[in-house]
Amino acid sequence: TWARVKRRLRAELGEDVYTSWFARLEIDAVADGCARLTVPTRFLKSWIEAHYVDRVLSIYRAEDASVERIGLGVRGAGPREPATSPARKADEGAPARPEPMAAAALLQRPADADREPGDLSGAPLDTRLTFRTFVSGRSNALALAAAERIARNEGGALYNPLYLHAGVGLGKTHLLHAIGHEVREAGRRAIYLTADRFMYGFVASLKAQTAHTFKERLRGIDLLVVDDVQFIQGRTIQQEFGHTLNALIDAGRQVVVAADRPPAELESLDERVRSRLAGGLVVEVGALDEQLRVSILTTRIQAVQAAHPTFEVSPAVVSYVARSVTANGRDLEGAVNRLLAHATLTGAPVTLETAESAIRDLVRNREPKRVKIEDIQKLVASRYNVSRSDILSERRTAAVVRPRQIAMYLSKVLTLRSLPEIGRRFGGRDHTTVLHAVRKIEKALGEDNALSEEVELLKRMLQD
Ligand code: ADP
Ligand code: MG
How many distinct structural domains can be found in the chain? 4
Domain-located, residue 428: yes
Which residue lies with its CA nearest to atom 19 of ligand 1?
A: 171
119 — pLDDT class (breaks 50, 70, 90) = very low
158 shares its domain with 272: yes
The pLDDT of residue 50 is 73
Q: How far is the CA of 14 from the centre of ligand 1 (A)?
A: 15
Domain-located, residue 90: yes
Q: How far is the CA of 299 from the centre of ligand 1 (A)?
A: 12
Q: Is the pLDDT of residue 192 over 80?
A: yes
- Beta carbons of 30 and 5 less than 8 angstroms apart: no
Choose from 16-20, 58-62, 85-89 the range with maximum mean pLDDT. 58-62
Domain-located, residue 131: no
For residue 346, the 8-state DSSP code is H
Q: How far is the CA of 124 from the centre of ligand 1 (A)?
A: 17
Angle between helices 172-185 and 141-151 (to 10 degrees): 20
Which residue lies with its CA nearest to atom 8 of ligand 1?
A: 169
Indicate which atom in ligand 1 lies nearest the CA of residue 174.
Answer: 6
Domain-located, residue 135: no
What's the CA gap between 358 and 368, in Å, rounded?
A: 18
What's the CA gap between 391 and 402, in Å, rounded?
A: 9
344 shares its domain with 420: no
> Is the dihedral angle over the CA atoms 346, 350, 352, 357 positive or is it negative?
positive
219 shares its domain with 322: no
Q: Is the pLDDT of residue 348 over 50?
A: yes
157 shares its domain with 262: yes
Domain termination site, one of 251, 284, 317: 284
267 shares its domain with 179: yes
The pLDDT of residue 12 is 84
How much is the average pLDDT of 62-87?
Answer: 65
172 shares its domain with 275: yes
181 shares its domain with 205: yes
- Beta carbons of 263 and 274 less than 8 angstroms apart: yes
Query: Cα angle at 123 between 122 and 129, to 5 degrees?
Result: 135
Ligand nearest to the CA of 178: 1
Q: 256: which residues sit within 8 A by CB, 6+ positions away?
A: 147, 150, 161, 162, 163, 164, 176, 179, 223, 224, 225, 226
Model confidence over 91-107: pLDDT tens digits? Answer: 333 333 333 322 222 23
Indicate which atom in ligand 1 lies nearest the CA of residue 135.
Answer: 24
Q: Is the pLDDT of residue 420 over 80?
A: yes
Q: Is the pLDDT of residue 332 over 60?
A: yes
167 shares its domain with 280: yes
Domain limits for position 435: 373-463
The lowest-confidence range among 185-194, 206-215, 232-241, 251-260 is 206-215
Indicate which atom in ligand 1 lies nearest the CA of residue 129.
Answer: 16
The pLDDT of residue 253 is 92
Q: How far is the CA of 464 from the centre of ligand 1 (A)?
A: 30
What's the half-sphere exposure (Cβ side, CA atoms, 13 Å) at 344? 10
Write the CATH number for 413: 1.10.1750.10
326 — pLDDT class (breaks 50, 70, 90) = confident
The pLDDT of residue 449 is 82
Domain-located, residue 60: yes
Q: How far is the CA of 132 from the centre of ligand 2 (A)?
A: 18
Q: How far is the CA of 9 from the centre of ligand 1 (A)?
A: 21
Mutate to test the pocket of ligand 1, among 172, 174, 225 (most ligand atoms within 8 A of CB): 174
- Beta carbons of 78 and 56 less than 8 angstroms apart: no
Q: Concatenated DSSP letters for 50-97? A: HHTHHHHHHHHHHH-TT--EEEEEETT-STT--TT-TTS-TT--S-SS
How much is the average pLDDT of 137-165?
Answer: 93
Write the CATH number for 340: 1.10.8.60
Pocket of ligand 1 (CB under 6 A): 129, 133-135, 140, 166, 168-174, 296, 329-330, 333
261 shares its domain with 221: yes
Domain-located, residue 13: yes
Residue ranges at the known binding site for ATP: 169, 171-173
Q: How far is the CA of 267 from the centre of ligand 1 (A)?
A: 26
Domain-located, residue 14: yes
Which residue lies with its CA nearest to atom 12 of ligand 1?
A: 329
276 shares its domain with 294: no
Q: What percent of the chain has pLDDT over 70?
A: 86
pTM of this structure: 0.61
How much is the average pLDDT of 17-33?
Answer: 84
Domain termination site, one of 339, 366, 393: 366
Rg of the chain, C-alpha, whole Å: 27
- Beta carbons of 195 and 227 less than 8 angstroms apart: yes
Q: Give the N- to C-terminal CA distance of the chain in Å, as an integer.
A: 37
What's the half-sphere exposure (Cβ side, CA atoms, 13 Å) at 456? 8
Write the CATH number for 247: 3.40.50.300
Query: Cα angle at 117 between 116 and 122, to 5 degrees?
Result: 80
The lowest-confidence range among 50-64, 288-302, 355-369 is 355-369
Domain termination site, one of 330, 347, 366: 366
Domain-located, residue 114: no
| Phi and psi angles of residue 435, each rounded to the nearest 5 degrees, phi first | -60, -45
Ligand nearest to the CA of 169: 1
Residue ranges at the known binding site: 169, 171-173
Ligand nearest to the CA of 172: 1
158 shares its domain with 269: yes
9 shares its domain with 91: yes
CA torsion 325-328-329-330 (nearest 10°) is: -90
Mutate to test the pocket of ligand 1, among 288, 330, 336, 337 (most ligand atoms within 8 A of CB): 330
